[in-house]
Structure 1
Amino acid sequence: DSRQVFNMQYLFMNVGVVLGTLTVGFLFDNGAKLVFGTATAMYVIFSVLVILTFNVPGMTKQAARSAAKAARSTFKPPFLIYILLGLTFSLYLGYILWETVIATHMTALGLTTQDYSMLWTINGIVIIIGQVILNRFLADVSFKLTVLGGTTLFAISFIFLMFARTYTDFLVAFLILTVGELLASPQIPAWIDAIGNPNAKGQEQGYVTMMISFGRALGPFYGGVMIDHGSYKLLFFSIFGLLMGFSILSWLVDNRLKMAHKKARSSQ
């Protein structure tokens, strides 16, 4: 089940982030060499695991056949996939702001670096626990409901940020964003996998990764420009508008596709 695959990938990615940030604090007290040496050892262990366990019988031939079919195919991705890629870009454009300009915003309001760091610890814990719980309940829920519901929560968190002044305000906003992230982030690639071309799954997931990287790259620049020439409130509201715009567009396009499929079936 592709949904299960992407959920597990998302879960263990965040487990790594939480354990890594906890571990590096202890390792760094003994010098930077130990930090980098440990990271190198982890990559060596992973490489050994790849060599020993990633040799799936028949996978090479299957991949070659899929690549050949994809090369001959004139298939064009459904328009909904492009909308979901835009949604992915918007999510990570907003998410990277928490790692950049919001840290400055919080310290400017008199909050400490420790306060900011604690938010990420809480974020990781909530994601790990929440993902384990949600995996049991989301199997029968549609991609549209989970992705667009999560994106809406994600967008609402930026409305809270517009009026955040105390640590509690930022904590509430970040918890809302975290729940939205839990619902939307792992489900978007699963949704694209479900509606995409079976012979171009790798290429489509490559587009997802590209949009994530593009959002992370552009986010700090966009945030800086908006703050220099506008305000934090304007920045947060623009992210809210961008997310809700892609959510509404995704809803409309998906409904239109379903109506088209129903008409096609009834005509047969």
Structure 2
Amino acid sequence: MTGPAAKGRMAKGLEATGLVIDVPGRPDGRALDLAIEPGQRWGVLGPNGAGKTTLLHTLAGLRPPRAGEVRLDGRGLSHWRRRALARRLGVVFQERHDDFPATVRETALIGRHPFLSPWRQEGPEDHARAVAALERLELSHLAERELATLSGGERQRVSLATVLTQAPDVWLADEPTNHLDLHHQVAAMALLAEQADRGHGVMMCLHDLNLAARWCSHLLLLYPDGEACWGEAEAMLTVEALESLYHQKLMCVEVDGAPVFVPTR
């Protein structure tokens, strides 16, 4: 695979070699051999239960694979110290559960924790990063609000702001547009594209085919039986492939040079 030249400290990106994700009760599917290289925007598409969230958690080192290996910069994730790995990989979860009360600003600052020693508090640079992230996600006016008082969409934007404050080399985002209105869906996708343009690798699970068509450079299609196919988005975005993936008839039209998929009977 090819991609923009690596920038900064990221050299080889995140690679899956012979990777079989562990979905309970499902036989082994096709092993994944792919790399999220700097500058690429990967979208993961598939119906409910296909294993999209399991894949992202496996790529993040949060659950073990059934087979194969995930490597960052050529080193298996098991050989990384957790703090060092947390400086490099950022995860936007589909849903977040906060057990302790915290403001929006305090939550965004969690993104800096991998960079702090156990007894060190956040410094001016850490606070500046959090302030900039909240402004980027249009959350500045909510900075002192308790997280528990926010809507689902506002909480999702806080999750994005927290990872932006972290500033990882690789973004793994599980349905980053979950709960968001149209304006903020576009803003979230633009943020992820901006991260890729800056030389980071991005992989995101999506349900909206049209967001994937407009914003992703590469796509991975996951099937409920464990089969998969992947490649550049232009080659993957065919009516035949997507109808097979979702068992749904589709019509494709072109708008501003991009395909738009509409379900039909």
Query: TM-score, normalised to structure 2's length?
Result: 0.24
Q: Which has the higher contact order (CA 8 A, sep 6+)?
A: 1
More strand by share: 2
More helix by share: 1
